[in-house]
């Protein structure tokens, strides 16, 4: 469905949530499609969607970002994703991140590993900061937060190999999971940004936590990295 809207970008409706945050006709349509399918198949499950909010239910909860990377999507770039995480009583059990424009589907099931297009994936073997390819995002800057990723970027960039940015937190986490990136950090995130990606990184052998090292819940500040790089990155971010 997102590809259909991508082909007719010039004609779709785009609204502002606030000055630098947008929602498109495609975001709303994709989420509506997913919610309807979930409610038909699992009528007693709860849903939390970026655009439609909370749909009450039982112990199972689906966490949906219909288009993560709306800015990239609006500009005709392929770096956006559809992200779905599934919790049972607060524990992540399933995660799926689809990038329709590139043709990749990342998936994970708790205790059963992670895949990309059905093939098993693992985090990289990176162990040092100087060898690390990192990723971040700037939702914190967009929302004018005083504490933001620019401060971390200035401190980290001289110490690492390089940095990349897709504009989709879910994609960034999947790229850590399959070894394209060695680590990722970001501030001011929402649960639907990271639910699926968190499980995918962990099932691929990586570490995901908040900046203080906490590993429960879906925090607004996040670090994802290889096991060896993780403590070095966390130390640098908290310096």
Of 70, 166, 198, 226, the catalytic one is 70
DSSP per-residue letters across 183-225:
EEEESS--HHHHHHHHHHHHHTT-EEE-TTS--SS--SSEEEE
DSSP symbol at 22: E
d(CA 97, CA 76): 19
For 51, half-sphere exposure in the C-beta direction (CA atoms, 13 angstrom radius) is 23
The catalytic residue among 31, 65, 182, 186 is 65
Q: Indicate which residue of 27, 31, 51, 68 is catalytic.
A: 68
User: Radius of gyration (Cα) for the chain, nearest Å?
Assistant: 17
Known catalytic residue: 210?
no
Q: Residue 45: what are its φ and ψ, rounded to 5°? A: -90, 145
Note if 70 is an active site residue: yes
Write down the catalytic residue from 47, 63, 64, 67.
67
Of 27, 50, 51, 186, the active-site residue reads 50
User: 69: closest CA among 132, 151, 135, 155?
Assistant: 135
Buried b (16+ CB within 10 A) or exposed e, 154-184: eebeeebeeeebbbbbbbbbbbbbbbebbbb
199, 223 contact by CB (below 8 A): no
Residue 162 among the catalytic residues: no
Distance, CA of 61 to chain centre:
17
Which one is catalytic: 87, 193, 203, 221?
193
Residues with catalytic roles = 50, 65, 67-68, 70, 193
């Amino acid at each position: 469905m997102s590809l259909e809207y991508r082909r007719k970008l010039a004609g779709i409706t785009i609204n502002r949530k606030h000055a630098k945050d947008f929602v498109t006709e495609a975001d709303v349509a994709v989420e509506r499609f997913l919610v309807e399918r979930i409610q038909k198949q699992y009528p007693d499950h709860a849903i939390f969607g970026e655009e439609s909010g909370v749909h009450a239910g039982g112990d199972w909860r689906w966490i949906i970002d219909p288009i993560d990377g709306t800015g990239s999507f609006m500009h005709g770039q392929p770096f956006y994703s559809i992200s779905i995480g599934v919790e049972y009583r607060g524990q992540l059990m399933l995660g799926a991140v689809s990038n329709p424009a590139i043709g990749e589907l990342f998936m994970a099931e708790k205790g059963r590993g992670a895949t990309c297009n059905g093939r098993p994936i693992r985090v990289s073997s990176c162990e040092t900061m100087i060898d690390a390819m990192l990723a971040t995002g700037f939702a914190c800057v967009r929302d004018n937060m005083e504490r933001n990723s620019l401060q971390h970027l200035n401190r980290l960039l001289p110490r690492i190999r390089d940095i990349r940015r897709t504009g989709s937190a879910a994609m960034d986490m999947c790229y850590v999971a399959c070894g394209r990136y060695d680590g990722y950090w970001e501030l001011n995130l929402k649960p639907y940004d990271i639910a699926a990606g968190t499980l995918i990184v962990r099932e691929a052998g990586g570490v995901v936590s908040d900046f203080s090292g906490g590993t429960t819940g879906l925090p607004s500040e996040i670090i994802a990295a290889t096991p060896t790089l993780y403590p070095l990155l966390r130390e640098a971010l908290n310096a």
